[in-house]
Chains A and B, each alone.
Chain A
Amino acid sequence: MRSIKLAVLLLIAAGVTTTRAQTPAALPAGYVGSETCKICHEDIYNAFGKSPHQAVETNAKRGFEGRACESCHGPAQMHTESPSAATIRNPAKLVAAAADKICLTCHLNQPTHVGRLESSHAKDQVSCTSCHKVHANGPNGLVNRKPAAINEQCASCHTSVWAQFQRPNHHKLPEGAMSCVDCHNPHGSIRPAMAQTFAANEPGCLNCHGDKRGPFTFEHGPVRFEGCAACHEPHGSANPRMLVRQEVRIVCLECHANLPTANKTGTIGVVPPSFHDLRSPRYQNCTVCHQKVHGSYVDRNLLR
């Protein structure tokens, strides 16, 4: 008798479960549930099952339990009745802002997006789905994680930047030792060029070049005011120190020109005149003597 009761209870429970899973009546109006989507889109459904987005399917707190597909694509009842591209929302075909709005419904309130207003990707209508593959499989499958793959993805748009990495002196991205996101935050940053930061608000360059951080007793102004890129071309250069000009003296002399500016609030670092004879090879590489060009702990003239 007891086993019969148990069997009946199990049958009822199974029936309720089946009904909930298969009856559209349990879903809000217009929704059909992910199982229905699977009938035609099984490959995507299967891949989605291993994606972090599967949490939307299984976690009731996210509000789309059992209908994760429709959390982005919208209610699909009309699409099931009349299957065509016109009857379903496809974020890939929306303007970037509208597509992003779907993603940001869940993802806006995360630290990743705090620099979004400064992001040139957002300003240039590069949507989340340009880099992130929403249906991709695997826990880290939504976006490339391996340096070579990241670099390829960035280079597919930033072709001229990638060309700079073919110059002889470059950060080691083509070698696979680094990736673009080591230096840049693709979601936006408080620093220029969406650069990464070190210790809150210092330039991300210092993540690796900690010996250039200081603070120095005698600073070299451009390092603090305009950052490393004032003198360095970080992507690649024919100069062995990756300078923006291919000879050191040209970089220095464009600022330290000995010519006073006319206006009273002129520019920094121009005068007093240097007594060096620039025609002599001895003075044609400033950093032979002014070797502490990033700043000196002990010498005002950056000599030691």
Chain B
Amino acid sequence: MRRLVALTLMVVPLCAQTPEPQAPKPANSPTEVAKSDATVAAEAPSPVPSAESWLTGSIDVGYRWRTDVGGSLDTYRSIVNLGSGPKLLGADFTLTDPKHRAFDQIHVRANGWGDEPYQTVHIDGKKSKLYDFSADYRDMAYFNFLPSYADPLLSRGIVLNEQSFDTRRRLGSFHLDLLPGNWFIPYFAYDRDSGSGTGATTFVTDGNEFLVPNTLRDQTNLYRGGVRFELRRFHATLEQGGTTFKDDQSVFQNSGSTNFGNVATTLFGQKTDLTNLLASYGVRGTSVYSKGLFTASATPWLDVYGQFLYSQPDTNVHYQQADTGNLLLQSQVLFYTSQQYLVSAAAKLPHTSGSLGAEIRPFRRVRIVESWLTDRVHNAGSAASNQTLASTDASQQIAALLTSSLVTNYSQNEIDIFYDATSKLTLRGGYRYVWGEANDAVLPPEGLMSSDQAKLRRNVGIGGVTYRPTQKITLRTDAEVASSGGSYFRTSLYDYQKVHAQARYQALTSLNFTADFTLLDNNNPVPGVNYDYRSQQESLSLFWSPLGGKLGDFQGSYTRSTLHSDIGYLVTQTLTPQTSLYRDNAHTATALFNVKLPTVEGIAPKLSAGGSFFISSGSRATSYYQPLATLWLPINKKMSFFADWRYYGYGEAFYLYEGFRTNLVTAGLRFTR
């Protein structure tokens, strides 16, 4: 599929006229202030060009070289994963049918084809008063192999990852709107999400866990269709959909080898080992869902909004496991040499959500927004298991039937009042009440907590100010202060203050600044919890485009973020309460210069340079550098040469062997029409 798409895109004849090439935005370019309408309009072509081309756009092809990776190749592949070879780096073009036969226009854009980790293609097609179609396909590599703290054998000098993946996820999405009229719009859609590949995981038994390979294969299909009614005074959308799901994981170890697992010591005088394993999950799922949405302009001073959403996914599972070795059933101090374990399980999860709200405008300067929201999840499951344990002289059969339930009923009600004090100042005040119940139970009691319940009660005061003293300055802030009488989890929001403030200043037409501040301070003083959490971010960014960008431009940002989280826990071996302290202090900066270099013999080169860095200290100090530079050389009006250099450097203060550094150089051509 991906080769076909790549081939199709590459053969598109894109070699005609072009304006001067644009420097590519770097992968980590931070911000660009939106252009004014007037600027956009000024750049717009005439609505009826005398000779409008049926094909416009550009395509970038090139070759990338990657130097040897210094340090951990596994970490490089887990984080960056770009490789050498010929690439279709990007394509973006529009097909126009001047006679409007099958379509008016088709837009195609593609990114990163040619054995790349993130391959995407998107197509939009439209014909006025007939249809609107979009298709999206993505092929993402998910490689993850980082040893560090995931390795219990690390103290013995063995560097293995006990949870790793080398998989790909492929996502397809297709949507068709039919346009028989202006107010009645039927639509259909199909989405597919699949993953496959291999990895490593652990096979866990009493007292030991064995690193084994696994295969992963899952697939979800989503079918949906509906109709939209869009009238002058109200709108309604009715949608019905359903999914199918399957997941066929397997875990195995071939016979002929002995796996001693993570425990080198003896258990009850014996060493445990695994000599053969095959475990497979056969999961099949379906779901139906319904969606109803409406908005209405009931009167000139009242708008009403509502949603009703219902879904009911279910799964059925047949799990089979057969293993041999010298293994232990700890509860009975029973050593066995073979095990057969069968589980039949099922789960059903009806999920109902709804919201209802209104915006009321009783006076010219006052708006009242009232909204109510509920979300109810009720999962019920059951698992019947049957295992046979056999040793050299006996066998034992153990059967069990467990039922499970997980329920949450969440609701919130909020009222906000907005007051436009002047044309430059808007004040907001509000109140939100959040409440809910949750419980989690498994019967008969087994393993973890058999029955747990919690209540959620939270009162939140809300305030905000938006002030725009001139067209060039915008100041915006909002805050929440909450007090709770219960929460679901120890780390949930409890008594908290949340603040967000932002200032934007356009000093010149070509220069503007943005400053941003966010704070969340959350405390749960309940004895036994004593949670103290605080996170804070401060950012400053600027965009400078002197002389209307004729010479180039600069954009940059700097962000400092801090996080601390203190919470109590109990060390059961010593029965001593301890406090978990977590700290993270990070500095992040991005910058990018785009410079137009002097013209030499009619060639006007462009240079882009910059990059980003991230440096953190605290509980797990990390650094990550991504500098880059790109040179553009227009060869003629329809073709440009580009060369791109990037460096990736990653370092871990505590896990030095995870660090890596490498250089990537890409050279290619952009064809534009």
Binding site for B on A (CB under 8 A): 43-44, 46-50, 59, 61, 92-98, 104, 108-111, 113-118, 123-125, 129-131, 133-137, 139-140, 145-148, 152-153, 155-160, 162-169, 172, 174-177, 190, 197-202, 207-211, 213-219, 221-222, 224-226, 230, 238-241, 245-250, 253-255, 257-263, 265-279, 281-285, 287-289, 291, 297-298, 300-301, 303-304
A162 & B442 in contact (Cβ 8 Å cutoff): no
B297 & A108 in contact (Cβ 8 Å cutoff): yes
- Whether A300 contacts B442 in the complex (CB less than 8 A), given A208-B169, A267-B488, comes out as yes
B388 at the interface (CB under 8 A from A): no
Question: Nearest Cβ distance between residue B467 and chain A, in whole angstroms?
Answer: 10
Q: Which of B35-43, B391-399, B598-606, B665-673 contacts A (4 or more CB under 8 A)?
A: B35-43
A108 & B303 in contact (Cβ 8 Å cutoff): yes
16 more CB-based (< 8 A) A-B contacts, given A46-B46, A50-B44: A46-B41, A108-B235, A137-B40, A166-B590, A207-B193, A214-B349, A250-B580, A254-B490, A254-B531, A254-B569, A267-B529, A268-B488, A288-B262, A300-B446, A301-B448, A304-B279
B152 & A288 in contact (Cβ 8 Å cutoff): yes
A166 & B588 in contact (Cβ 8 Å cutoff): yes
A287 & B163 in contact (Cβ 8 Å cutoff): yes
A168 & B569 in contact (Cβ 8 Å cutoff): no
A40 to B309, CA, bound (A): 50
Which residues of A have CB within 8 Å of B146?
A: 240
Which residues of A have CB within 8 Å of B218?
A: 210-211
- Whether A268 contacts B155 in the complex (CB less than 8 A), given A109-B296, A133-B40, comes out as no
A81 to B273, CA, bound (A): 93
A114 & B452 in contact (Cβ 8 Å cutoff): no
A111 & B112 in contact (Cβ 8 Å cutoff): no
Which residues of B have CB within 8 Å of A253?
A: 569, 580
| CB pairs A–B below 8 angstroms (22 shown) | A47-B44, A111-B228, A114-B235, A129-B37, A133-B37, A145-B107, A160-B516, A166-B626, A168-B622, A190-B375, A200-B309, A208-B169, A208-B171, A210-B195, A213-B220, A226-B489, A265-B453, A267-B454, A267-B492, A268-B453, A279-B573, A287-B150
A190 & B319 in contact (Cβ 8 Å cutoff): no
B40 & A136 in contact (Cβ 8 Å cutoff): yes
B149 & A248 in contact (Cβ 8 Å cutoff): yes
- Whether A254 contacts B580 in the complex (CB less than 8 A), given A123-B416, A159-B30, comes out as yes
- Mark out the residues of chain B between 95 and 151 whose CB falls within 8 Å of any chain A CB in the assembled complex: 104-105, 107, 109, 111-112, 117-118, 120, 124, 126, 138, 140, 144, 146, 149-151
B447 at the interface (CB under 8 A from A): yes
Question: Nearest Cβ distance between residue A64 and chain B, in whole angstroms?
Answer: 13
Choose from A46, A124, A304 the contact partner of B476 (Cβ within 8 Å).
A124
A211 & B195 in contact (Cβ 8 Å cutoff): yes
Question: Nearest Cβ distance between residue A270 and chain B, in whole angstroms?
Answer: 7
Question: What mask results when residues 433 to 459 of chain B are scored 1 for a CB within 8 Å of chain A, else 0?
Answer: 000001010100011110011110000
Interface secondary structure of A, over-half rule: loop
Question: Nearest Cβ distance between residue A229 and chain B, in whole angstroms?
Answer: 12
A217 & B404 in contact (Cβ 8 Å cutoff): yes
A262 & B283 in contact (Cβ 8 Å cutoff): no
Q: Which of B1-9, B332-340, B351-359, B631-639 contacts A (4 or more CB under 8 A)?
A: B351-359
A95 & B163 in contact (Cβ 8 Å cutoff): no
- Name which residue of chain A comes closest to B312, CB basis: A215
Choose from A159, A230, A248, A273 the contact partner of B572 (Cβ within 8 Å).
A273
Question: Nearest Cβ distance between residue A227 and chain B, in whole angstroms?
Answer: 10
Q: Which of B10-18, B62-70, B366-374, B545-553 contacts A (4 or more CB under 8 A)?
A: B366-374
A44 to B487, CA, bound (A): 54
Which residues of B have CB within 8 Å of A61?
A: 182
A300 & B447 in contact (Cβ 8 Å cutoff): yes
Question: Nearest Cβ distance between residue B315 and chain A, in whole angstroms?
Answer: 6
6 smallest beta-carbon distances between A and B, as pairs:
A210-B220, A49-B47, A177-B118, A47-B44, A163-B559, A109-B235
- Name which residue of chain B comes closest to A106, CB basis: B232
A104 to B361, CA, bound (A): 14
A152 & B382 in contact (Cβ 8 Å cutoff): no
Which residues of A have CB within 8 Å of B630?
A: none
- Name which residue of chain A comes closest to B540, CB basis: A159
B565 & A166 in contact (Cβ 8 Å cutoff): no
- Whether A44 contacts B191 in the complex (CB less than 8 A), given A201-B375, A261-B529, comes out as no
B383 & A298 in contact (Cβ 8 Å cutoff): yes
A163 to B625, CA, bound (A): 13
A240 to B163, CA, bound (A): 11
Question: Nearest Cβ distance between residue B559 and chain A, in whole angstroms?
Answer: 4
A199 to B309, CA, bound (A): 9
B188 at the interface (CB under 8 A from A): no
A23 to B633, CA, bound (A): 53
Question: Nearest Cβ distance between residue A73 and chain B, in whole angstroms?
Answer: 12
Choose from A95, A134, A255 the contact partner of B37 (Cβ within 8 Å).
A134
- Name which residue of chain B comes closest to A153, CB basis: B34
Choose from B314, B375, B577, B612 the contact partner of A259 (Cβ within 8 Å).
B577
- Whether A190 contacts B307 in the complex (CB less than 8 A), given A199-B243, A246-B622, comes out as yes
Question: What mask results when residues 546 to 588 of chain B are scored 1 for a CB within 8 Å of chain A, else 0?
Answer: 0000000000010101000101111111000100101010101
B209 at the interface (CB under 8 A from A): yes
Q: How large is the interface on B (under 10, 10 to 19, 20 to 34, 35 or more residues)?
A: 35 or more
Chain B CB within 10 A, most for which of A96, A140, A176, A279:
A176
A177 & B140 in contact (Cβ 8 Å cutoff): yes
B311 at the interface (CB under 8 A from A): yes
- Name which residue of chain A comes closest to B282, CB basis: A297
- Name which residue of chain A comes closest to B567, CB basis: A254
A125 & B476 in contact (Cβ 8 Å cutoff): yes
B559 & A160 in contact (Cβ 8 Å cutoff): yes
B614 & A263 in contact (Cβ 8 Å cutoff): no
- Mark out the residues of chain B between 41 and 60 whose CB falls within 8 Å of any chain A CB in the assembled complex: 41-42, 44-48
Choose from A123, A213, A271 the contact partner of B245 (Cβ within 8 Å).
A213
Choose from A158, A169, A219 the contact partner of B406 (Cβ within 8 Å).
A219
Which residues of B have CB within 8 Å of A92?
A: 37, 471
Which residues of B have CB within 8 Å of A246?
A: 584, 619-620, 622
B466 & A96 in contact (Cβ 8 Å cutoff): yes
Question: Nearest Cβ distance between residue A78 and chain B, in whole angstroms?
Answer: 19
B528 & A261 in contact (Cβ 8 Å cutoff): yes
Which residues of A have CB within 8 Å of B117?
A: 172
Question: Nearest Cβ distance between residue B494 and chain A, in whole angstroms?
Answer: 10
Choose from A96, A117, A165, A271 the contact partner of B449 (Cβ within 8 Å).
A271
- Name which residue of chain B comes closest to A210, CB basis: B220
A273 & B570 in contact (Cβ 8 Å cutoff): yes
Question: Nearest Cβ distance between residue B538 and chain A, in whole angstroms?
Answer: 8
B640 at the interface (CB under 8 A from A): no
- Whether A190 contacts B353 in the complex (CB less than 8 A), given A216-B347, A288-B150, comes out as yes
A265 to B504, CA, bound (A): 46
B526 at the interface (CB under 8 A from A): yes
- Name which residue of chain B comes closest to A61, CB basis: B182
Which residues of A have CB within 8 Å of B622?
A: 167-168, 238, 246
A262 & B379 in contact (Cβ 8 Å cutoff): no
- Whether A109 contacts B526 in the complex (CB less than 8 A), given A115-B307, A247-B149, comes out as no
A270 & B590 in contact (Cβ 8 Å cutoff): no
B193 & A124 in contact (Cβ 8 Å cutoff): no
Which residues of A have CB within 8 Å of B442?
A: 218, 300
- Whether A282 contacts B573 in the complex (CB less than 8 A), given A177-B112, A217-B317, comes out as no
A147 to B487, CA, bound (A): 38
B502 at the interface (CB under 8 A from A): yes
A174 & B347 in contact (Cβ 8 Å cutoff): no
Which residues of B have CB within 8 Å of A166?
A: 28, 588, 590, 612-614, 624, 626
A160 & B44 in contact (Cβ 8 Å cutoff): no
B289 at the interface (CB under 8 A from A): yes
A210 to B194, CA, bound (A): 8
Chain B CB within 10 A, most for which of A49, A98, A110, A241:
A110
A224 & B379 in contact (Cβ 8 Å cutoff): yes
